[in-house]
């Protein structure tokens, strides 16, 4: 693809203003302008007195006394009673942290040390030292920089606070202040990898604030003064580069706005506090309006990043309520729509949602023992924020920390009850639901940058099991083929033509030749749509898909047409489970009973193919696990029909003609309009 064509597509998708800003930003970074704009300094050069209003006492004792009388409200004045907390795992987790065994991306553990090496990637064993300004450090230094950033988010603070609330053991308090002091010694302002990203700075700040308000009674005035000066330095860093975050049109803009809002609201004594609070609030509201669509879906096309945005918003909106500075009604309305959307793609047996789109396992507010995959806590928190009642049984600790003990006694009823179908047309999400099974379909006309080439992908769930699943993400930057290798079409539950992706890959995170999906029909038992991703081939090809639910059977029909005999491959990804294989079927042996998948042609099965992305799935960032990759292949020959039947029981199937199949006594006619017609045979 020529540079001119790339430029024209960037202008078309993002606009001239965005292109100009990004080019100018790259020039600022390479020329050293950013380094001059954010000069490095020593902590001692800017002590707390540097950041305070002139009329605020700057001595540690005087400052702490002023803070006690400031009237600033946080989520809690006193820690919750231990009998209201879930103590089953948190103390054990806190003990592991004290021994240096730290969680990465919630579920993976490394021997990081206590305090950890703040600059080391434990996977590759490399460090990014602090001898360079943050603007001179690449995202791909030391392998995947996310492994360096992960402990610097200070997510362990929530565990230490929860463990202290249960045990009252002061060693958890001492650990918090030890980590703060060591981080300051190892991370001089503006130097090294941990100053590179404003969103990472925000996550660190809100964790520090959580620890500060929990442990301030057990801290010295000097410790408190040091931490507030560090928080102020983060505010200065976030504000100075927030336009870059906003140019990404994703959760970075929301997060960094929340960072400014948080610092300005909780620390009004800082001389820039009013400016930071005002600017942060404007950014948060503008970015939520831009990123949360009217149907509740999210512009990043990722439930995981949608939860990041919701956690950011819950933190900010609740602090606003407590400090008499509420956000707008429009913002509250969009948060409610976002929560409602997530519930509509929720598997009500497991509490999980499809592992769709980019997923780096970010978890901003780990306030309970709930699984990272369980979305019920964040949905319930948003519901309570809006309506002050619960919708799920349990998940009380997540509510408790933000809203207090009264939340646990609030009435419970579900105004987001799952319907038979969801049509989120703006985001491109659709569902069909049966009695104990359901499906989510992707068919989007992109309004924002797509991250996965997954038009017409189907996620299928049965009795809480994700029978046909999304491969996830694994790594943004790893050795080939793992440079964001699970973003392509071939690992999604859809069709590839000529082995191509539906869009043209250009870089790690950028697709060109965006495909466009179109929905033809959608009711409570039938969905049909198509996309134009293969019209760029010469000669072009088209792909149309239908999903029909009949009794307890699900029939998926794919029609691929072209004047050229391209090979086409229908792919399904199945969790790694014992199975028996026939010529054109597979019998899965699941904890909920046997489940059958029938195909129009013989099924080729690959499991965990080394050096290849086939046969793998990633439920958590940085971790991959074997899966069953099922493929049905055939040439197009003008028109190819590929069909799949998903069934909880063994059935009879007979292909009578190329466009007619008898399925369990039902005649399925393929082609024409609609694509799949069912009649009694």
What is the b/e burial string over 79-113, where b = at least 16 CB atoms within 10 angstroms of the residue's CB? Answer: bbeeeebbbeebbebbebbbeeebbbbbbbebebb
Strand partners, 123: none
Instruction: Give the tens place of pLDDT for each residue, 10-34.
Output: 999 999 999 999 999 999 999 999 9
pLDDT at residue 540 is higher than 80: yes
User: What is the per-residue pLDDT for 415?
Assistant: 66
For residue 67, what are its two tokens? Answer: 């803070």
User: What is the per-residue pLDDT for 560?
Assistant: 98
Strand partners, 472: 618
How much is the pTM?
0.96
Q: Angle of helix 273-291 relative to helix 251-266, nearest 10 degrees?
A: 150
User: What is the per-residue pLDDT for 194?
Assistant: 98
- What is the DSSP-derived secondary structure letter of residue 477? S
Across residues 552-560, what is the average pLDDT? 97
Band (322; pLDDT cuts 50, 70, 90): very high
> Residue 354's closest CA among 312, 307, 290?
307
Q: 623-635 and 604-607: which strand pairing?
A: antiparallel
Question: Per-residue DSSP letters for 298-313?
Answer: BTT--HHHHHHHHHHH
Q: Is 120 helix (H, G, I), strand (E, B) or coil?
A: strand
570 and 604 in contact (C-beta within 8 Å)?
no
291 and 280 in contact (C-beta within 8 Å)?
no
What is the Cα–Cα distance from 358 to 681, expressed in whole angstroms?
Answer: 44
What is the Cα–Cα distance from 649 to 432, expressed in whole angstroms?
Answer: 20
What is the b/e burial string over 652-665, where b = at least 16 CB atoms within 10 angstroms of the residue's CB? Answer: ebebeeeebbebbe
Across residues 430-456, what is the average pLDDT? 97
User: What is the per-residue pLDDT for 419?
Assistant: 65
541 and 564 in contact (C-beta within 8 Å)?
yes
Instruction: Give the tens place of pLDDT for each residue, 417-428.
Output: 666 789 999 999
User: What is the per-residue pLDDT for 107?
Assistant: 86
What is the Cα–Cα distance from 363 to 310, expressed in whole angstroms?
Answer: 11
User: What is the per-residue pLDDT for 653?
Assistant: 95
Instruction: Give the tens place of pLDDT for each residue, 637-664.
Output: 999 999 999 999 999 999 999 999 999 9
Across residues 403-427, what is the average pLDDT? 87
End-to-end CA distance of the chain: 51
Q: In terms of pLDDT, which residue wins out, 260 or 478?
A: 260
User: What is the per-residue pLDDT for 414?
Assistant: 76
Listed in sequence order, the residues at least 6 apart from 246 whose beta carbon sits closer than 8 Å to its beta carbon are 252, 253, 256, 283, 287
> Residue 427's closest CA among 404, 408, 451, 403?
451
Give the dihedral of Cα atoms 365, 366, 370, 374; nearest 10 deg: 40
User: What is the per-residue pLDDT for 385?
Assistant: 97
Across residues 62-85, what is the average pLDDT? 94
Q: Is 83 helix (H, G, I), strand (E, B) or coil?
A: helix
Instruction: Give the tens place of pLDDT for each residue, 36-69.
Output: 999 999 999 999 999 999 999 999 999 999 999 9
Instruction: Give the tens place of pLDDT for each residue, 96-119.
Output: 999 999 999 988 999 999 999 999
Instruction: Give the tens place of pLDDT for each residue, 276-301.
Output: 999 999 999 999 999 999 999 999 99
Cα–Cα distances (Å) from 254 to 246, 249, 251, 290, 386, in that order, read 8, 9, 5, 10, 19
Within 32-98, residue ranges assigned H as helices are: 33-37, 48-51, 60-68, 90-98
Provide, rounded to the nearest whole percent, the portion of the chain with pLDDT above 90: 93
User: What is the per-residue pLDDT for 418?
Assistant: 65
E strand or H helix that includes residue 448: none
Please state, as a whole number, how many other Cβ atoms lie within 10 Å of the Cβ of residue 59.
13
- What is the DSSP-derived secondary structure letter of residue 362? -
pLDDT at residue 172 is higher than 90: yes
pLDDT at residue 680 is higher than 90: no
Across residues 624-634, what is the average pLDDT? 97
> What does the mean pLDDT of the chain come to?
96
Listed in sequence order, the residues at least 6 apart from 398 whose beta carbon sits closer than 8 Å to its beta carbon are 365, 367, 368, 370, 377, 378, 380, 381
Across residues 167-186, what is the average pLDDT? 98
pLDDT at residue 530 is higher than 90: yes
What is the Cα–Cα distance from 324 to 278, expressed in whole angstroms?
Answer: 14
For residue 334, what are its two tokens? Answer: 């969009």
Q: 458-462 and 465-468: which strand pairing?
A: antiparallel
pLDDT at residue 86 is higher than 90: no
pLDDT at residue 583 is higher than 90: no
What is the Cα–Cα distance from 57 to 87, expressed in whole angstroms?
Answer: 40
> Residue 283's closest CA among 270, 268, 264?
264
Listed in sequence order, the residues at least 6 apart from 81 whose beta carbon sits closer than 8 Å to its beta carbon are 405
Q: What is the 3 state secondary structure string of 334-385?
A: HHHHHHHHHHHCCCCCCCCCCCCCCCCCCCCCCCCCCCCCCCHHHHHHHHHH
């Amino acid at each position: 693809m020529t540079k001119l064509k790339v430029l024209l597509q960037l202008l078309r998708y993002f606009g001239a203003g965005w292109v100009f800003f990004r080019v100018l930003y790259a020039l600022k970074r390479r020329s050293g302008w950013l380094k001059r704009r954010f000069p490095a300094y020593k902590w001692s050069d800017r002590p707390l007195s540097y950041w305070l209003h002139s009329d605020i006492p700057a001595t540690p004792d005087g400052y702490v006394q002023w803070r006690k009388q400031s009237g600033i409200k946080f989520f809690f004045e006193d820690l919750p009673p231990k009998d209201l907390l879930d103590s089953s795992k948190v103390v054990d987790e806190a003990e592991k942290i004290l021994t240096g065994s730290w969680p990465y991306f919630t579920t993976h553990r490394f021997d990081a040390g206590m305090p950890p090496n703040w600059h080391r990637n434990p996977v590759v064993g490399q460090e990014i030292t602090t001898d360079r300004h943050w603007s001179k450090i690449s995202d791909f230094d030391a392998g995947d920089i996310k492994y360096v950033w992960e402990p610097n988010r200070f997510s362990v603070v929530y565990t230490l606070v929860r463990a202290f609330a249960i045990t009252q053991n002061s060693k958890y308090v001492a650990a918090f202040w030890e980590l703060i002091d060591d981080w300051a010694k190892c991370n001089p302002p503006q130097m090294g990898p941990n100053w590179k990203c404003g969103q990472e700075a925000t996550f660190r700040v809100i964790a520090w604030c959580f620890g500060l308000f929990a442990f301030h009674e057990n801290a010295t005035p000097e410790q408190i003064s040091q931490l507030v000066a560090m928080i102020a330095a983060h505010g200065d860093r976030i504000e100075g580069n927030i336009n870059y975050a906003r140019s990404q049109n994703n959760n970075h803009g929301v997060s960094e706005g929340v960072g400014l809002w948080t610092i300005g609201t909780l620390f009004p004594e800082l001389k820039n506090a009013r400016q930071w609070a005002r600017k942060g609030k404007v950014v948060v509201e503008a970015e939520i309006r831009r990123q949360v669509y009217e149907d509740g879906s999210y512009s990043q096309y990722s439930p995981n990043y949608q939860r990041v945005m919701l956690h950011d918003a819950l933190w900010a909106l609740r602090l606003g309520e407590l400090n008499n500075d509420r956000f707008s009604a429009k913002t509250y309305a969009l948060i409610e729509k976002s929560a409602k959307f997530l519930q509509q793609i929720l598997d009500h047996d497991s509490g999980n949602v499809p592992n769709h789109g980019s997923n780096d396992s970010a978890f901003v507010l780990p306030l309970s023992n709930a699984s990272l995959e369980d979305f019920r806590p964040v949905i319930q928190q948003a519901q309570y924020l809006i309506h002050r009642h619960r919708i799920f049984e349990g998940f009380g600790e997540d509510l408790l920390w933000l809203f207090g003990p009264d939340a646990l006694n609030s009435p419970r009823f579900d105004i987001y009850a799952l319907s038979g179908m969801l049509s989120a047309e703006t985001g491109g999400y659709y569902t069909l639901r049966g009695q104990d099974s359901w499906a989510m379909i992707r068919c989007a006309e992109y309004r924002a940058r797509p991250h996965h080439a997954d038009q017409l992908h189907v996620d299928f769930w049965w009795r809480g099991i994700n029978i046909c699943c999304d491969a996830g993400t694994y790594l943004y930057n790893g050795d080939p083929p793992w440079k964001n290798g699970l973003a392509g079409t071939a690992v999604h539950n859809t069709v590839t033509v000529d082995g191509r992706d539906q869009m043209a890959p250009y870089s790690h995170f950028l697709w060109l030749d965006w495909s466009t999906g179109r929905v033809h029909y959608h009711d409570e038992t039938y969905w049909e749509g198509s996309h134009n991703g293969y019209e760029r081939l010469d000669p072009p090809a088209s792909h149309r898909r239908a999903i029909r639910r009949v009794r307890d059977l699900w029939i998926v029909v794919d029609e691929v047409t072209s004047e050229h005999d391209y090979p086409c491959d229908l792919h399904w990804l199945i969790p790694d489970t014992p199975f028996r294989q026939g010529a054109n079927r597979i019998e899965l042996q699941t904890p909920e009973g046997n489940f059958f998948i029938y195909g129009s042609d013989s099924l080729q099965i690959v499991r965990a193919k080394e050096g290849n992305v086939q046969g793998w799935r990633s439920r958590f960032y940085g971790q991959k696990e074997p899966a069953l990759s099922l493929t049905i292949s055939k040439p197009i020959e003008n028109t190819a029909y590929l069909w799949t039947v998903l069934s909880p029981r063994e059935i009879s199937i007979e292909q009578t003609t190329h466009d007619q199949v008898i399925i369990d006594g039902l005649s399925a006619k393929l082609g024409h309009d609609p694509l799949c017609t069912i009649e009694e045979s």
